[in-house]
Structure 1
Amino acid sequence: MHHESAAGPPAAGGRQRCRTRRAAGTAALTVLLGLCGAVVLGLVHQQTGSDGFLVGLGLAVLPVPVLLAAFRWLDRAAPTPRRNLLFAFGWGACAATLVAITVNGFATDWLASSLLPRAPDRADVLGTTVVAPVVEEAAKAGAVLLLYLHRPRDFGGVVSGVVTAGVTATGFAFTENILYLGRAFGEDLAFGHFGLESTTLGTFLQRVVVAPLAHPLFTALVGLGFGAAALAARHRRALRTLLPLLGLAAAVTLHGVWNGAATRPTRVFFTVYGLFMVPVLLVVAALALWARRHVLRTVRATLPRYAEAGWLTPSEPYALGCLRSRALARDLARRGGGRRAARAVAEYHRAATCLALLRARAERGAVPPGFRAHERDLLRILRRHRPLASAATASAAPAAALPTQARIEEWERLRAC
């Protein structure tokens, strides 16, 4: 790995064409999601009424910031680009919800009229426990699949998969909660139920308080499958296809069990919740945290090669492999150079982390498309931000235990070199 050859810029015309195509695709996708969102809002408003819609919206938004903050916290080691997360949330809230509302309703009506005309209750049960899990998880998985195929640079492994899937499902649950809470409020108005007897309170407790992670947990299993597939060697095509399908099957199964329990008495619901859902949640969380620690270990093991080539100072790989040291580096930069310096450090850290993960994947035989071009782009980002970010990052590694003033003095000394 030579310093000059790795940094050779691609053709300017090719970069311009790539940017033009990307901008056109982004604009088209934004319009499509906006249209889906407008249709969904119209359908939800039609089923809930104005009062129910406003109440449902106000209650459904409550868990969204908490869930998004949790996924961003999990994603700190190798942050997913915000544009990808915005797409994932928009897909879940708009496109996936529209598919679910349309297909679920059509399928349930078809079951009731064609297969089970004499047992409409059984058709509803099948629609809830079989049809809805398949349709909804497949619709949500669409966002993960699109990013996996069209943004392979940003899809680095298990954490990327879980975060992308979780944010998609958070958007889906947000819109679905507006519908369910709005309907419940309309029923309470119609039947005069208020206070502890209200359907709205029961729906809020079940969907927002007790199980806000239900949809994110289901779809996280899909994300695990895609994340594992991204790490598999490229010649193992069967495995790369099988892993996402296994994740989807697990998500559908878990979703079906959950929906079935929700139709049973409260005692059965909480039994399934405690003995089945909570253990699965703990296992998925443990896997995601292990994967994040693995990312940091990969950074510490891989980046010294780039330090030997002159792209980083010898101490930076150790700072970049520690979240606490990264935070110290951003703090130093902010104190010494303001927000601009802190943003430069954050971009520098993200590029270095992506570089380490990219190189590690290539060495395992899972070389992503456009490996050399991607490596050059990341090295270019390191070079651009190095004047503001390198000194702060280097000083954060050996000085992690020093008082703040000592760290600032060390950073100023390194900047002066």
Structure 2
Amino acid sequence: MRATALATLLAISGFVILALVREQTGTEGFLVGLGLAVLPVPLLISAFRWLDRVQPGPWRNLIFSFAWGACAAALIAIVANSFATRWIETATADPASADTLGATVIAPIVEESAKAAAVLLVFLFRRRDFTGIVDGVVIAGVTATGFAFTENILYLGNAFGTDQLSGTGAGLTSVTAATFFVRVVMSPFAHPLFTVLTGIGFGIAAAMAPGRGRLRKMLLPLAGLLAAMGMHAFWNGSSSFGEYGFFAVYAAFMVPVFGVLTWLSVYVRQRELRTIRQELPAYIAAGWLAPPDPFALGSLKARRLARDFATHYGGRAAAKAVAEYEDCATSLALLRHRGRRGRAGADFAVRERELLEALWARRDYARPALAYGSQIAAPMWLPPVVYAGPPAPGLAYTYDNEPYRYNPYRY
């Protein structure tokens, strides 16, 4: 019921924002803007998906985030910004001042708040999928990518309309080309960069122990949101810093911040892989995991090799089972890590048992594939795993002369 209501809201928002943008740009300008604005979207989504490879979140969360940014957040922004700018213009009788104030104060507050709403909704209602900084970065970044997509359609469509009125055409000196260069080539990451600060605040709050530091859990996302607003305002106001103010802010501020946040995200991802290698060996003695599993699951290369192996010998069903095994094992390792630090919830034992049973149900597909992946990825680090060719029913590998007798692959 809740999902249906939310989907209906996003659909209505999408139709309304589509009509508003088309009204402002004209049909031809809208189509040109749409064709140009879509170009950076696959690259940005792929970058955030790559960052989320250790524990990929469900696609439904990413689809919701992008749709919220492109439809609901964009609609809120275009309506609220227009209303606020007109009100300031009427109150001050100074259109230039109203535009400047709208761009540097009103727009950052409205737009970042609208985008942060998507992160908040996932944080509240998809809590199992939101466990740390990487999740916050991905959800915030995808939301902002959707928002920038709609905003770029508007800017590029208006630029094309300006060129049509002036008779400039579509050359390199056109307003459309200049707008495309600034918004799509130079700074496609601008909106994601702002909103990622909000996502980091939510991510740190998500990683904290349940029931502790409630005030900090509220203040951290708020601090991230304020930082996003401040950075957004600084970026929007760069054009008022002189002829080369925009380029100075871009080179001296935006690019370094982008580099730092990228490094932080990759560092956190590597720390998750290290946590997997450290936490999962505890389950080997109990028989839940096979000896090669911790290393294979803590190596992106070994995980990819395992999925490729399963696809080659077992088809899509085997590959899906191995991917699900990897996801469940990752969740188990991070859950155990939080539990040892006193940050797991009251449902720790229940959740742990659910994940272990999910692993057990997929072990027949996953163990041979992960054994292969671990041996190929780091043969010098592991005891010998004897590979006897394509898996045969009943016996595919031996590990220290101990047979794996679980193999559902069929040929």
Aligned twin of 1:362: 339
| Residue aligning to 1:143 | 118
Residue from 135, 145, 149 that aligns with 1:160: 135
1:334 aligns with 2:314: no
2:26 is aligned with 1:49: yes
| TM-score normalised according to structure 2 size | 0.91
Which of 232, 245, 251 does residue 222 from structure 2 map onto?
245
Q: Name 1:8's counterpart in structure 2.
A: none
Counterpart check, 1:409 vs 2:389: yes
Q: Which residue of 2 aligns with 1:10?
A: none
- Please state how far the C-alpha of 1:64 moved relative to its aligned partner: 0.3
1:292 is aligned to: 269
Shift, 1:364, TM fit: 2.2
Alignment match of 1:200 (pick from 176, 180, 187): 176
Matched, 1:187 2:167: no
Query: What is the aligned partner in structure 1 of residue 55 from structure 2?
Result: 78
If asked which structure has higher relative contact order (CA below 8 Å, sep 6+), I would say 1
Q: Structure 1 residues 199, 62: CA separation in 2 closer, same or farther (over 3 Å shift)?
A: same
TM superposition shift of 1:174: 0.4
1:56–1:179 CA contact under 8 A, matched in 2: yes
**SS in structure 2 opposite 1:290?**
helix
Deviation digits for residues 145-192 of structure 1, max 9, x if unmatched? 111111111112111110111111000000110011011111111111
Q: Which residue of 1 aligns with 2:37?
A: 60
How far 1:342 sits from its partner (Å)? 1.1
Distance 2:374 2:315 in 1: 21
Q: Distance in 1 between matches of 2:331 and 2:20?
A: 41
Secondary structure of the residue that 1:77 maps to in structure 2? Answer: coil
Distance (Å, rounded) in 1 between the aligned partners of 2:357 and 2:186: 47
Q: Look up the equivalent residue of 2:230 and give its one-letter code.
A: T
Kept after mapping to 2: 8 A contact 1:332/1:411: no
Counterpart residue identity of residue 214, structure 1: A
State the partner residue of 1:97. 74
| Paired letter, 2:157 | G
Q: Work out the CA distance in 1 between the residues paired with 2:346 and 2:157.
A: 46
Tell me, yes or no, if the aligned pair for 1:166 and 1:216 is still in contact at 8 Å: yes
Q: Distance in 2 between matches of 1:204 and 1:266?
A: 19
Paired letter, 1:192: G
Q: Partners of 2:114 and 2:205 in 1: how far apart? A: 19
Note the residue ranges of structure 1 that are not aligned, 5 or more in a row. Answer: 1-23
1:274-289 to structure 2, matched below 5 A, reads: 274-289=251-266
| Aligned counterpart, 2:383 | none
Q: Equivalents in 2 of 1:112, 1:89: separation in Å?
A: 33
Quick one: percent identity of the two aligned structures?
A: 54
Match of 1:268 in 2: 245
The answer as to whether partners of 2:313 and 2:390 remain within 8 angstroms in 1 is: no
Contact 1:332 1:407 in 2 (8 A): no
1:372, CA displacement in angstroms? Answer: 3.9
The alpha-carbon deviation at position 379 of structure 1 amounts to 2.5
TM-score normalised by structure 1 residue count: 0.89
Find out whether 1:130 has 2:130 as its counterpart. no
Stretches of structure 2 lacking an aligned partner (at least 5 in a row): 380-385, 398-403, 407-411
| 1:396/1:407 contact within 8 Å kept | no
Offset of residue 378 of structure 1: 2.3
Q: How many residues align?
A: 389
Question: What secondary structure, in the 3-state scheme, does the structure 1 residue paired with 2:284 have?
Answer: helix
Which structure: greater helix fraction? 1
Change (3 A) 1:100 1:356: same
Q: Does 1:111 align with 2:91?
A: no
Residue 198 of structure 2 aligns to which amino acid in structure 1? Answer: V
- What CA distance in whole angstroms lies between the structure 2 residues aligned with 1:222 and 1:105? 24
Instruction: Give the CA deviation at 1:370.
Output: 4.2
Whether the 8 Å contact between 2:307 and 2:322 is mirrored in structure 1 is yes
Query: Hey, what does 2:196 align to over in structure 1?
Result: 220
Alpha-carbon distance in structure 2 between the residues aligned to 1:45 and 1:369: 51
CA contact (8 A) 1:156 1:358 kept: no
Task: Measure the CA separation in 2 of the matches of 1:302 and 1:148.
Answer: 25
Deviations 1:343-382 (A, max 9, x none): 1111110111011112222332322474444333323321
Cα distance between partner residues in 1 of 2:143 and 2:215: 26
Q: 1:337 to 1:32 in 2, by over 3 A?
A: same
Q: Kindly indicate whether residue 302 of structure 2 is the aligned counterpart of residue 325 of structure 1.
A: yes
Give SS of 1:409's match: strand
Provide closer, same or farther for how the CA distance between residues 372 and 42 of structure 1 changes in structure 2, counting only shifts above 3 A.
farther
1:407 and 1:81 map into 2 onto residues whose CA distance is 34
Aligned to 2:382: none
From 137, 141, 148, the equivalent of 1:173 is 148
1:266 positional shift: 4.9
Identify if the C-alpha distance between structure 1 residues 408 and 278 changes in structure 2 by more than 3 Å, giving closer, same or farther.
Answer: farther
Query: 1:385 offset after TM fit, Å?
Result: 1.7
* CA distance in 1: counterparts of 2:124 and 2:349, whole angstroms: 18
Shift of 1:32: 1.1
In structure 1, distance between residues paired with 2:373 and 2:60 = 29
